[in-house]
Amino acid sequence: MKYVEFEIVKKAAEASFKGSLTDKKLVEIANEAEPDGADKNADLMINIAKNYNLPIGGYLMAYSEYTRDYRRDRIERLEEENVEEIVRAAKLGIKPDNDKLARNIREIEILKNKKDAEMVNVKRSLKKDLTRIFTEAQTSMIKTGFYKLDEKLGGGLRNGRLYGLGGITSLGKTTLALNIAENIATEIKDEKGNITKTGRDVLIFSLEMARAELLAKNISKRTFEAALKENPNNIEKCEENAVSLINLYNAKYSEEKGKKIIDAEKKYLEETAPRLNIMEGVGNITVDTVRLTVETFIEKNRSKLQPVVIIDFLQILSPINERSTDKQIVDRNISELKRLTRDLDVAVVAISSFNRQNYAEEVSFESFKESGSVEYSVDVLMGLQLWVNGRKKWNKSTAQTEKRQAIDEAKRKNPREIELVILKNRIYKTGQSVFFKYFPAFDYFTNDNCGELYKEKEGIDTNEDGDGSEENQTNAEKKKDYGLKLDKNDPRIQRVPK
């Protein structure tokens, strides 16, 4: 940052602290920093105004227009320079200056990402927009590794979408997201070395758990998967042969289990670790840090597949403005994450906490009410809850103690029965449920063998899970059952690593 820019930011922060910062005052600060400072630092002023929730109209309108005109003219000039360089090199029979071309392309990308909202005529944009949708359908589908979840989402995660995942404390939000991250990052090859399932980069911003803890969860999960493969119908035997997270932390395991840990680590290093990236931190990661890190990663690696970004969790992303309320902080963070998905064409999964009043209540939009504008801004909103069969019978007269007892009893089950409810999906059906069985000691989620849970829940098509019959479907359900249906043996499904 230049000295003049630093001065403007400093003076604006001081004025904000005193409560005297206005759009007019910001212009005065910039012009005092250097002659015509407002004109020369228009982009910086607009960013400061957004950070402090100042109106962009009025005194700042002219500078907003100025930055838009400047970006348009600059993009045109950079594109012309690239064409001139290529033509010059062709005439002289030499190679073009690739460093110059790369610098110009990078600056063009940055300028385009900063463009303001504008009104576009549909006649001019229709072909381009439809082409984008078609391309997205062909290239941006991301399998989570859970065939039932992919089906209910309409095929999987998608680039350019923001996903919200909420739940009460200690329910397994982070573990489910980590299971999904591992499945996405894992690359599997056959005996001849041919890739049978391509891995994709995943960037995890872990604001609550240390990187070592996340990796220990993955290794414990891997030992349980290996045990499950050996004893698919004997859960007790699996738990006996696998290494739980607590035993891993305490180094409390036999020599035989130690060898299993080494085997799990070896496979993990080969299949998953090269594409799994974790930034840990408490109190020092802002939404701007997230954006800069993702931009830098994409620029540096230039992978064929865009990375998936996971934020754990939304409420503890550091604020830009310390004086903002909790709701304002979450509102700005979720708004900037949405902008990031559009600008960089990446899928972002933001984990969110529930408000305390919803500990024993059924998952709904109300669960997110204290979480800012999460329910409005995300493209897909999902909530986790423990499956309690008698929950539907609860009413206003049901005592909180009775509800909590039922929840606590559900927590003590092994495995826990978890229901994921899709509250919102901009492009597919909402109100659907996906059931999981969760083994917390081994940080393992599965959506296999959940047929009895679908049968218990009213309105769920049991036939979809392979445990019902065609006759159990009503005609109304058949008519509503549109879109992509994926069987767990479908070759397009991303396999959970074995």
Dist CA 242 CA 248 (whole Å): 10
State whether 101 and 148 are in the same domain: no
Using 50, 70 and 90 to split pLDDT, how confident is the model at 470?
very low
- Residue 497 confidence (pLDDT): 44
Range of the domain at 44: 1-116
**Could you give the number of structural domains in the chain?**
2
Is 133 among the domain residues? Answer: no
Dist CA 331 CA 336 (whole Å): 9
What average pLDDT does the segment 209-233 reach?
92
State whether 197 and 295 are in the same domain: yes
- Residue 463 confidence (pLDDT): 41
Using 50, 70 and 90 to split pLDDT, how confident is the model at 401?
confident
Is 125 among the domain residues? Answer: no
Is 496 among the domain residues? Answer: no
State whether 157 and 39 are in the same domain: no
Residues 6+ apart with CB under 8 A from 55: 23, 49
What average pLDDT does the segment 287-304 reach?
87
Is the pLDDT at 484 greater than 70? The verdict is no
Evaluate if pTM is beyond 0.75.
no
Residues in the chain, total: 498
State whether 106 and 236 are in the same domain: no
Is 173 among the domain residues? Answer: yes
Query: What CATH number is attached to the domain comprising 320?
Result: 3.40.50.300
Residue listed under structure tokens 């990446």 = 346
Neighbours of 32 (CB within 10 A): 13
pLDDT: is 91 or 498 the higher one? Answer: 91
State whether 110 and 154 are in the same domain: no
Top mean pLDDT of 195-199, 229-233, 296-300, 383-387 is at 383-387
State whether 25 and 168 are in the same domain: no
